[in-house]
Amino acid sequence: MPASADANVGFTLTPEGKARLIASLDRIAGAIPRSSAILADKAGRVVDIARRPMGVNVEGICALAAGVYASTKELGRSFGEEEFSLLFEHEDEQQVFVWLVADRALFIGLLKSAAAVTELEEALAGQSGQDLAATVKGAREPLRSVPPPRIDPMKMPADMAAKVRILTLKMLELQNKSGGKAGPEASKSILKLREELHRTMSAGDWAAAGTICDQAIRLVENTVV
């Protein structure tokens, strides 16, 4: 498991399964120039990364993407859409693609051009995507010590999901401008607010979570790079 991965994820892979997972992610990322392929569990905890991007807070993006996907899934179901993907766009230099894998994990692709989205969709619909889904589907259930998801997707209000989406896009914009180096004080403040946001969302304290999310958005907007 890479140093960036979370030791407590929502399923357990055998060494053979881990090797197949890494091979699938490598093939997907390798087929698209300047891309990164990430697998996270449905709570946003990183399982593995192929071609980790420099200067990008992968763990933060995964956690936020999981929260947005979970709430959007309920909206999709209300319209009869059981399967869908999400795409966060920031001009033509940063695209974040989120796709559900075997109803157990999230594939998160970081892309450097809008044109690469089509290539990624084709890769996920092809053999590499099928292999990835089969590996995740065949994974064992987690050990009893694995904590529950940090965010209960069924309870996240729509306005909270919208704020998390805005925060995600603002963070991407800041990372693009700063090259991942926003300064130690700003980075420390953003990290602290992110941890408080996870804590309040996990506790279902949506009023406090909304206030913290607003503070984080203002902080990111006002960070000078």
More confident residue, 82 or 157: 157
CA distance 50 to 203: 32
Give tens-digit pLDDT for 21-76: 999 999 999 999 989 999 999 888 899 999 988 878 888 888 888 888 877 766 55
Q: Measuring CA to CA, which residue among 77, 64, 46 is closest to residue 163? A: 64
Give tens-digit pLDDT for 112-122: 888 899 999 99
CA distance 53 to 140: 29
Q: pTM for the whole thing?
A: 0.63
More confident residue, 201 or 53: 53
CA distance 44 to 9: 9
Q: Measuring CA to CA, which residue among 178, 162, 150, 161 is closest to residue 54? A: 178
User: Looking at the DSSP assignment, which residues form a beta bridge with residue 108?
Assistant: 38, 98
Q: Which of 91-100, 149-158, 167-176, 206-215 has the highest mean pLDDT?
A: 206-215
What local confidence, expressed as pLDDT, does residue 142 receive? 65
Reading the block at residue 113, the tokens are: 């051009």
What local confidence, expressed as pLDDT, does residue 169 receive? 77
| Beta strand 105-111 pairing with 94-101 | antiparallel
Q: Are 110 and 56 in contact (CB under 8 A)?
A: yes
CA 181 to chain centre: 20
Residue 60 DSSP code = H
Give tens-digit pLDDT for 131-188: 999 999 998 876 444 444 444 444 678 888 888 878 877 777 776 666 555 566 767 7
What local confidence, expressed as pLDDT, does residue 135 receive? 95
Using the Cα atoms of residue 205, residue 207, residue 211 and residue 214 in order, give the sign of their dihedral: positive
* Beta-carbon-side half-sphere exposure of residue 179 (alpha carbons within 13 Å): 0
More confident residue, 85 or 76: 85
What local confidence, expressed as pLDDT, does residue 180 receive? 53
Q: Are 10 and 142 in contact (CB under 8 A)?
A: yes
Using the Cα atoms of residue 105, residue 4, residue 148 and residue 152 in order, give the sign of their dihedral: negative
Q: Are 50 and 22 in contact (CB under 8 A)?
A: yes
Distances in Å between the Cα of 42 and the Cα atoms of 57, 70, 100, 103, 141 are 18, 8, 9, 8, 13
